[in-house]
Amino acid sequence: MTGSPAAAPAGYDPRLMAAAAALNANDLARAEPLLREYLKQDPFDVFAIRMLAELAGRIGRMRDAETLLRRALELAPDFTAARSNLALVLYRTGRPVEAMEELDQVRREEPDEMAYANLRAAALGGVGEFDEALALYQRVLDERPAHPKVWMSYGHMLKTVGRLDDSIAAYRRAIDLRPELGEVWWSLANLKTYSFDDADLAAMEAMLARDDLSQEDRFHFDFALGKAREDRGEADAAFAHYLAGNGLRRELLHYDVSENTARIDRMIAQATPGLFAAHEGDGCDAPDPIFILGMPRAGSTLIEQILSSHSQVEGTSELQDIPELARQLDEYPDRLGDLSAQQLRETGESYLKRTRIYRRTAKPLFIDKLPNNWMHTALIHLALPNAKIIDARRHPLGCCFSNFKQHFARGQSFSYDLSDLGTYYRNYVRLMAHIDAVLPGRVHRVIYEDMVEDTEGEVRRLLDYCGLPFEEACLEFHRTERAVRTASSEQVRQPIYRGATTAFEQFEPYLDPLVAALGPALEGWRTAP
């Protein structure tokens, strides 16, 4: 998380200056104890609080970062740098509307500060205001054309709206300005349909040979080179880069897969037949949402594109509202069974109110395709009993390895280690198997491999589950013009690609840790062990 570089005022306490220097060097292990010790003695120092929030954001503790920044603003409401940081945290946790509210305040305090316009443009895109976002990016770049990260962000937005050539040109402009920026090379690779030439490979390899490259730039180059080498059929070299990139990324994260296992155990303990029977008829009865959930890289974007091609369904994005509402519940999921009928109804109604801003048409149904919502399937059913729930599933080796070679902008901390990936996938199918047992027929499962082999049959079954009449447009989904924000955005603008079902096979010799962690889920993944 960065808004402006971590800093303390000149002449400040030497310990805080040392912490700022450590943060700017990304030496978080040194910075954290310095900041915590300092704040024990002066818990009201807003500069130190903001720096600790910066540290929390860098290691993925966004909720901690938000709490700290709100505390800093409570103590110093005019602390504009902290407010800018808060807007970034809100944007990165899927709350673009709240982010824009903070940015409006920033703009009132510093009306000429163009640095915040970049984040505002991203937030506008987050709520579907793509034309306004693109216009703002263009204005920023007209005034400051030498900013590579703004060109990169502009490229992201162009990719989202399907302007592929313009997106590539924006990324290339960013590379011209700052060739060592690994993230923009990865952005090109993440188009999935883009191929690097020999000069590109030589340039990226030369960057990795440098000893002054930041860890973040380095792992982005590794992910990009992994994709480039895989495209050329060089499995050994590709896996070496994927392994190196994941290892570097994993070092920056505080993730313990055992916490996920324990959470799923607690969820299963709460989601009993008695709980669902006791709340039959409760919740908000609106039928509007269609949830597409499951593992990332399992075909959810394809399903969304198919359904969004229907005249009665609007695609939105990976909305963060269910996880946010879950976080607001006391001791969730341990006290899921204690929720009242009123609380469940209010949760469902709050979800519909929060998500209304993402809807741009009068179509009666809309899609929320946040994959991680699988962990909240029981809550979704209780709060929105008439919502549709679709489980997008893919072969565990293909799905997990596709995650392993994907660098996610944020979240998905389980994806940077093969063993963590296997355990997470096993927990996913374990919970969904429990839901199948206690709520038979409630969830419709789409197997990616089946969709590839029998597209029309699977599409018809999908539409039947959603209570929708068949429309030919759903088979011509690649012709549907709409914004797509996920890594598969360019792939779903083409007819179904069959090669993805077997792409992992050349890497099987390297996947022993994944196989071991998957255990019985490797064979029983279609229905779960």
- pLDDT bucket at 15, cuts 50 / 70 / 90: confident
Rg over CA atoms, the chain: 23
Please say if the pLDDT value at position 416 is more than 80. yes
| 3-state DSSP of 355-382 | HHHHCCCCCCEEEECCHHHHHHHHHHHH
Q: Which fold has domain 1-113?
A: 1.25.40
Please say if the pLDDT value at position 496 is more than 70. no
* Opening angle at CA 288, ends 282 and 291, nearest 5: 90
Cβ burial, residue 9 (10 Å; 0-12/13-18/19+): exposed
Assign domain 257-524 to its CATH superfamily.
Answer: P-loop containing nucleotide triphosphate hydrolases (3.40.50.300)
Residue 409: predicted pLDDT: 81
What percentage of the chain exceeds 70 in pLDDT?
93
Domain coordinates of the chain in residue numbers? 1-113, 257-524
Residues 6+ positions from 194 with CB-CB distance below 8 Å: 168, 188
pTM to 2 decimal places: 0.84
- The rounded distance, in Å, linking the Cα atoms of 345 and 285 is 8
Q: What is the mean pLDDT of the chain?
A: 91
Per the CB < 8 A criterion, the answer to whether 525 and 395 are in contact is: yes
User: Which tokens in the block code for residue 267?
Assistant: 């969820």
- pLDDT bucket at 434, cuts 50 / 70 / 90: very high
Pairing of strands 289-294, 365-368: parallel
Over residues 92-104, the mean pLDDT reads: 87
User: Which tokens in the block code for residue 186?
Assistant: 């990865």
- The rounded distance, in Å, linking the Cα atoms of 81 and 449 is 48
Task: Look up residue 90 and give its amino acid.
Answer: L
- The rounded distance, in Å, linking the Cα atoms of 32 and 45 is 15
- pLDDT bucket at 2, cuts 50 / 70 / 90: very low
- The rounded distance, in Å, linking the Cα atoms of 304 and 278 is 33
105-109, 155-159, 327-331, 457-461: range with lowest mean pLDDT:
105-109
No. of helices (H) and no. of strands (E), the chain: 26, 5
Residue 34: predicted pLDDT: 92
pLDDT tens digits, 154-175: 999 999 888 999 999 999 999 9
Residue 27: predicted pLDDT: 85
- pLDDT bucket at 40, cuts 50 / 70 / 90: very high
Cβ count within 10 A of residue 464: 12
Residue 499: predicted pLDDT: 62
Residue 91: predicted pLDDT: 87
Q: Give the CA distances from residue 198 to residues 46, 109, 414, in Å, rounded to whole numbers and listed in that order.
A: 50, 48, 33
pLDDT tens digits, 200-246: 999 999 999 999 999 999 999 999 999 999 999 999 999 999 999 99
- pLDDT bucket at 1, cuts 50 / 70 / 90: low
- The rounded distance, in Å, linking the Cα atoms of 469 and 175 is 47
Residues 6+ positions from 200 with CB-CB distance below 8 Å: 185, 228
Task: Specify the higher pLDDT residue, 10 or 211.
Answer: 211
Please say if the pLDDT value at position 57 is more than 80. yes
Residue 10: predicted pLDDT: 52
Residue 117: predicted pLDDT: 84
